[in-house]
Amino acid sequence: TAKEKGYYVPSSTFTRLLGALKEYASEGRGFYAAYATYVLTRNEEITTSYLENLSKNSVFADTSLSLTELYMAASYRLLRMDKEAKKYTGKIKKGINFVYDNDMFASRLYIDSVYLYIISSYFPEQLKVIGDTVLGSIEKSMSEGDYNSISSAMTLSAIEAYLKATPNAATGKFVVKED
């Protein structure tokens, strides 16, 4: 978040933003509610009731994974509710099929980047499961020019999270520095 990166966010703006996110989260189903819940959780809000509503009001396929489920898993991990997170992370595998549960963000690059970001940030132990398939897909989308400002921003966040989660042979860690 902007605050985590050291940017000043006026408290009145921050409070209004959290209020708007609570409205989206209270809808209790779909991508927007899951993403709002995730952002609230990252900002130290207790979001178990939002997650319970999402779980109750959403229908998920057995063989595919949606962005809604990824954001729910990340929220559960942040809340240290690993048993609940595991319900969704159990679907993590190489070559996963994604359900495009939001047309606005239905680009392959955006979805692959969210996948890499959440796995790297909250479930780094799963990186060995996905192998290099997601990175290859990200590279393919970028080389084909299939990107926009939203997918590019998500890709940068995903690569930063991936580098933080992946050790290298010489030092045991990568470091990403921002100027």
Instruction: Please compute the mean of the pLDDT values over residues 1-26 and round it to a whole number.
Output: 89
The count of other CB atoms within 10 Å of the CB of residue 42 is 15
Percent of the chain with pLDDT over 70: 82
Tell me how far the alpha carbon of residue 82 is from its chain's centroid.
Answer: 16
For 68-110, the pLDDT digits (tens) are: 888 999 999 999 999 999 888 877 665 555 555 555 566 888 8
Select from 72, 7, 79 the least CA-distant residue to 34. 72
Percent of the chain with pLDDT over 90: 46
What is the signed CA dihedral for 169, 90, 38, 118, rounded to 10 degrees?
20
Q: Per the structure block, which two tokens stand in for 23?
A: 């409205």
Whether the pLDDT of residue 171 is over 50: the answer is no
Q: How confident is the model at residue 178 (pLDDT cuts 50, 70, 90)?
A: low
